[in-house]
Amino acid sequence: MEYKAPSSIDEAVMLLAQANGKAHVLAGGTDLLVQIRAGFTKPTLVVDVKNILELRTISVADDGVCIGAAVTGAELGEHDAVKAAWPGLVEATELIGSTQIQGRASLGGNLCNASPAADTVPALVAASAICLIAGPNGQREAPVEQIVTGPGQTSLKNSEFVVQFQLPKKLPRSADAYLRFIPRTEMDIAVVGAGVNLTLDKKGICQQARVALGAVAPTVLLVEAGAKALIGSTLDDAALDKLRAAASAACNPIDDKRGTVEFRVDVAGVLAKRAVLIAKQRAEMN
Amino acid sequence: MPRFGIGQPLTRKEDLRLLTGRGRYVDDLSFPNQARAEFLRSPHAHARIVQIDVEKAKSASGVCAVYVSADIANAGLGGLPVWFMPENAPPGYAPEFPLLAQDVVRYVGESLAMIVAESAEQAARALDLIEVKYESLPTSVGLEEATSDGAPELWPGKAPFNVAFLWQGGDMSAVVTALRQAAHLVEIDVINNRVAIAAIECRAAIGVHDAIKSRSTLYTTSQMPHPLRADLAAIFNESEDQFRVVIGDVGGGFGSKNSMYGEQALVIWAARMLDRPIKWVGERSDAFITDFHGRDNVTHGELALDQDGNFLGMLVDVTANLGAYISGRGAMSPVLNQPALAGTYRTPAIHVRVRGMFTNTVPTDVYRGAGRPEAIYLLERLIDKAADELNIDRVELRRRNMIPADAFPYETPLGLTYDGGLFERNLDEGLRRMDWDGMVSRRAEARARGRRRGIGLANYVERCGHGITQDAQIKVAADGGVTVLIGTMSSGQGHETAYAQISAELLGVQPSQVKVIQGDTDLVAQGKGTGGSWSIPVGGAAMSKAADAIIDKGKEIASHLLEASSADIEFSGGYFTVAGTDHAMDWSSVAASAYDPTLLPEGMTPGLEGTGEFVPSNHTFPNGCHLCEVELDPKTGSLDIVRYLVVHDFGVVLNPLLLEGQVHGGVAQGLGQAVFERTYYDNAGQFHTSSFLDYNIPRADEIPSIEFISNPTPCPANPLGFKGCGEAGAAGAPPAVVNAVVDALKEFGVKHIDMPLTPERIWRTINNAATKQDFP
Ligand SMILES: Cc1cc2nc3c(=O)[nH]c(=O)nc-3n(C[C@H](O)[C@H](O)[C@H](O)COP(=O)(O)OP(=O)(O)OC[C@H]3O[C@@H](n4cnc5c(N)ncnc54)[C@H](O)[C@@H]3O)c2cc1C
């Protein structure tokens, strides 16, 4: 296995394009190294992207926030501006692993590892994040929800990788929230994850909403019916009940030792509703 | 009292070594020219072995040898010895438990073949080259399946209906009479869930053979070195002195390292065959499916009460899952500790019937408490259920039936004679400290947040130490240093500290002057190992006898040198003093004199040492009350253990730090079984919870800080007054937390919930019990 650590996007693209055999991008390695050690994947080339400036930078501008794909959870958690604008995304990121894992784990790795239970993905989808992708044919953009196509599978072409995540301009009276359910108190894989992003008007009526669920289908779900249930309402009990039902109805989970179908379906509704209440409270304050 | 004697919170002598990575576990040892062993484990729960072809594996790179059952059978090696089978029924069936499976495999993980290679990697790679043709057989995995009509049998013709043995205890006719007079009969069915014992140090063994001396040495991880040597002698059909067992630091055992495993004999056998040291170190994934599991009972209990709620009689029917074979001590838990069913209550008549069952699972064996936690769980759940059905307050019902403080000695209907305890005071102290009565407002406050609170308690009486004799040898060197040789075996409990402290108390030395030698059968003359919370009570008492012999000889030496009668010499605080004078000799001058023949009375042999043996006249009876408060989220089933309190009577406390550490660990394991640890065999006998991702050992943030109240009473059966504290935590915790959760779920109409209390189980229980209406 060969290890390379290029310092530019172009160099990284070239290395990946020229690889013969299996090549992997390496960010924090908290998924990849575990998989290599367990013998699940045997790459011939590993391209470490942590030395590429664009992937390690967080920039805040008037039209939104850009987060480098290899920025670590710890870095994001200490970034006051991002925390203030996207508390839900930051709380999702900070749920990953432990203090040690936080020092390594990245958004790019969490997305591209393509686990149905990845914690930041529902939050990214709810936030309408766009990926900037580099590849042999230059750079392109794609919404986060188009990246993962199934467990362990992405729509990235050979030698493409994610450079950064672009979050839209933050509107007044809007906020996001993320909740996950695990059987334990920490360090566990989500049985259900729920990300919500809301915009209210001055009267508290919901103008925009996005609801995304993790771990209840092969890929993260964007629950349009859930958003519909909320938009136009004051997020009263009736609307919340409709949302809960819509969230449960959207689920198509697996039945396994970590959680049965009925349980995941029901808890998905419960969590979506609770996440809306948190986002609402935050939106009312800003 | 010496500064480091009994009762002092001396910090652990072994911790500097263990916490700085300088402990010496089996994997830390290596020998010149050693080869590595790996074992082929059965992927099937029940299958006939049609053919094993090892030729390809034999010629793989680095492979020295491949052995299958025929190889060792030809050499005449026996199976794993069974140390206990119940006696009072028609004889049960203890099948031969072969070191390597013969014609049939009976559980996933059973060993079929051993490969020895130059490296562990080469041995592991060659495992894939062994070709086995299996013919699958129908399985009986869970107890429900194994006991059902027409269930596939593991031992056709030998153990009909998969029944290994039947056993009963207590007086059935007394119970029947009680039932006739009863105003109420309360019944409960509980599952005492199977657990993976999961000691942090995986099993490992190194066999070394000295062909010149014709002696074999086993370096391994074990709680019982001397019994293990006896097992080796039995398997090889040789005398015990042909074996030496050496145990270094042990990373936990909890019962899983009491009995012997096939690998421990096979590394010696291969060492003899190949004339080189053979090392095997198990992996965690191996441990989950090959280490003996704990618990696994289904129990039906009936409690007869009169009009006023007095207990009249109890009938208990236990079905115990022994696994595919009977492990060394596998039949002990469901049989020997049933007397714990009496608890702290004066139930006049108890009868218990036990059915030991074979299933296609890894055998079970003793696990922290070994039957006591199972019995106490049934009893304390049954009492809560009775209180609910009779509409009597559960504290009041317990109080009404409690054995009073003036009733000792008290004979229980299952044959124990309790010698003391303040059971009602345990309860009262617990209720007060937990603010039991304040639950009303805490419940309401939690409810307002959409949560539910519950509180529960459990009383227990354990029994420790009877039936075990242990001796201790204490040697005093010329410089006054003390060496304790003892046949108990620490697996993390802190024996080096405990025995140093007992030595300090008895002999007036500093703990730093004390060396403890355990775990080497060539150095320690006799031993029972460690189990059943007996090491400090029984080992400590043996030490006190050994110390008496030393002090007696010391007095004679001092009397000779101080020219006084030996009857006038007093020993205290390290000084031999002529009574009523200031003539004295200190410890080190007496020790030095003991080795100088010119200073000794005529005819006295030089040296200063003593051996003591302690044969307990009765059990000790540690007892206490555990209380637990929980809060749960009824919509997701998430459970928080909010508070946990232990009121305990362990008699004299040797070292409060060690003691509380033992109880912390016991409670954490009890809560682990009750709340987190789920083993899952599917119908085909595949074990699905075989990593720490799926098998949830409790973590620090999931266990609350444990509060303690000490309420000791004397322990007449033990000269130093120790009762034993190693297992009690695991006995009190499951019923305390389950009672708390059932209390929290009362409004949904829940009467019982089985362990482990995972979120999904709680969620499902609510949803099955509650009216379909949504709740706040
Ligand atoms: C102990 C532990 C606990 C964990 N807990 C959680 C948890 O609670 N929640 C959770 O969601 N996950 C958890 N994880 C998984 C993991 O930490 C996260 O998925 C993390 O975000 C992965 O990021 P990384 O930078 O380490 O990715 P890496 O391991 O470096 O990469 C993961 C995959 O993504 C690819 N990749 C990485 N970066 C890019 C890129 N920029 N473009 C294209 N492909 C890329 C890699 O080639 C690889 O296939 C845990 C892992 C461990 C070991």
Residue A164 shares a structural domain with residue A22: yes
Residue A200 shares a structural domain with residue A123: no
Q: How far, in Å, is the centroid of ligand 1 from the Cα of A161? A: 14
Range of the domain at A33: 2-168
Which residue reads 């389950």 in tokens?
B738
Residue A136 shares a structural domain with residue A185: no
Model pLDDT for residues A9-65, shown as the tens digit of each residue: 999 999 999 999 999 999 999 999 999 998 899 999 999 999 999 999 999 998 999
Give the torsion sign (CA, B58, B291, B299, B326).
Answer: positive
Residue of B nearest to A260 (CA): B760
Model pLDDT for residues A223-233, shown as the tens digit of each residue: 999 999 999 99
Among the listed residues B621, B603, B599, the one whose alpha carbon sits nearest the alpha carbon of residue B715: B621
Mapping DSSP to helix (H, G, I), strand (E, B) and coil, where does residue B392 land?
coil
- pTM for this structure? 0.95
Question: Does any CB of chain B come closer than 8 Å to the CB of residue A263?
Answer: yes
The answer to whether B344 and B402 have CB atoms below 8 angstroms apart is: yes
Residue A11 shares a structural domain with residue A112: yes
CATH T-level topology, domain B31-137+197-290? Aldehyde Oxidoreductase; domain 3 (3.90.1170)
Residue B1's pLDDT is what?
A: 44
- Give the nearest ligand 1 atom to A24 CA: 47
Indicate the CATH number for domain B420-464+620-776.
Answer: 3.30.365.10
d(C-alpha A259, C-alpha A264), whole Å: 6
pLDDT tier at A271, thresholds 50, 70, 90: very high
Task: Give the count of Cβ contacts less than 8 A between chain A and B.
Answer: 38
The answer to whether B534 and B470 have CB atoms below 8 angstroms apart is: yes
CA distances from B423 to A172, A253, B349, B578 (A): 64, 51, 20, 45
- Name the domain boundary from A168, A191, A221: A168
Residue A256 shares a structural domain with residue A186: yes
Which amino acid would we find at residue B553?
A: K
* Domain count of the fold of chain A: 2
Tell me if domain B31-137+197-290 and domain B420-464+620-776 are identical in fold: no
Mapping DSSP to helix (H, G, I), strand (E, B) and coil, where does residue B264 land?
helix
Sort strands B470-476 and B482-486 into parallel, antiparallel or unpaired. Answer: antiparallel
CB nearest to B760's CB, from A188, A263, A270: A263
Residues belonging to chain B with any Cβ–Cβ distance to chain A shorter than 8 Å: 635-636, 638, 676, 680, 688-689, 693-694, 696, 699, 701-702, 758-760, 763-764, 767
Residue nearest (by alpha carbon) to ligand 1 atom 4? A97
CA angle A88–A182–A236, rounded 5-degree value: 50
Model pLDDT for residues A118-169, shown as the tens digit of each residue: 999 999 999 999 999 999 999 999 999 999 999 999 999 989 999 999 999 9
The answer to whether B350 and B170 have CB atoms below 8 angstroms apart is: yes
Residue A35 shares a structural domain with residue A113: yes
The ipTM value here is 0.92
> In DSSP terms, which residues pair with A153 in a beta bridge?
A150
Q: A21 CA to chain B: closest CA distance, Å?
A: 24
Residue B775's pLDDT is what?
A: 60
As a whole number of angstroms, the longest Cα–Cα distance in chain A is 60
d(C-alpha B418, C-alpha B619), whole Å: 8
Q: Return the H-helix or E-strand segment holding A238.
A: helix A237-250
Q: Do B694 and A181 touch (CB under 8 A)?
A: no
Residue B770's pLDDT is what?
A: 66
Query: How many CB atoms lie under 10 A from the CB of residue B523?
Result: 13
Residue A233 shares a structural domain with residue A131: no
Residue A122 shares a structural domain with residue A223: no
Q: What is the dihedral of CA B719, B725, B731, B733, to 10 degrees?
A: 140
Residue A18 shares a structural domain with residue A100: yes
Question: Does any CB of chain B come closer than 8 Å to the CB of residue A258?
Answer: yes
The string of DSSP letters for B689-727 reads --STTTS----GGGSPPEEEEE-----TTSTT-B---SS
d(C-alpha B350, C-alpha B755), whole Å: 25
The answer to whether A164 and A244 have CB atoms below 8 angstroms apart is: no
In a mutational test of the pocket of ligand 1, which residue from A24, A54, A93, A112 has the highest number of ligand atoms less than 8 Å from its CB?
A112
- Strands (E) in B342-439, as ranges, are 349-358, 410-411, 417-418
Residue A128 shares a structural domain with residue A228: no
Q: Within 6 Å (CB) of ligand 1, which residues are found?
A: A 24-32, 34, 49, 69-70, 95-97, 101, 104-106, 108-110, 112-113, 118-119, 156, 161-162, 187
For the stretch B604-607, contacts whose Cβ atoms lie closer than 8 Å and that sit 24 or more positions apart, written own/partner, are: B604/B553, B604/B556, B604/B557
Burial B274-286 (b: 16+ CB within 10 A, else e): bebbbbbbbeeeb
Q: How far, in Å, is the centroid of ligand 1 from the Cα of A32? A: 7
Q: Kindly give, in sequence order, each residue whose CB lies less than 8 Å from that of residue A68, ignoring residues fewer than 6 positions away.
A: A54, A55, A56, A57, A58, A163, A164
Question: Does any CB of chain B come closer than 8 Å to the CB of residue A267?
Answer: yes
Residue of A nearest to B687 (CA): A257
Sort strands B184-192 and B297-305 into parallel, antiparallel or unpaired. Answer: antiparallel
Q: Could you state, in order of their start, the residue ranges of all structural domains in chain B?
A: 15-21+466-614, 31-137+197-290, 420-464+620-776
CB nearest to B763's CB, from A185, A258, A263: A263
Q: Kindly give, in sequence order, each residue whose CB lies less than 8 Å from that of residue B684, ignoring residues fewer than 6 positions away.
A: B45, B139, B141
CA distances from B760 to A181, B34, B447, B763, B767 (A): 11, 49, 20, 5, 10
CATH T-level topology, domain B15-21+466-614? Aldehyde Oxidoreductase; domain 4 (3.30.365)
Inform me whether the pLDDT recorded for A101 exceeds 90.
yes
Domain harbouring A179, CATH code: 3.30.390.50
Q: Kindly give, in sequence order, each residue whose CB lies less than 8 Å from that of residue B8, ignoring residues fewer than 6 positions away.
A: B501, B655
Residue of A nearest to B696 (CA): A184
Residue numbers in A near B676 (CB within 8 A):
184
Residue A149 shares a structural domain with residue A34: yes
pLDDT tier at A284, thresholds 50, 70, 90: very high
Residue A156 shares a structural domain with residue A186: no
Residue B774's pLDDT is what?
A: 57
Q: Which residues of chain B have pLDDT under 50?
A: 1, 772
Give the torsion sign (CA, B263, B268, B271, B273).
Answer: negative
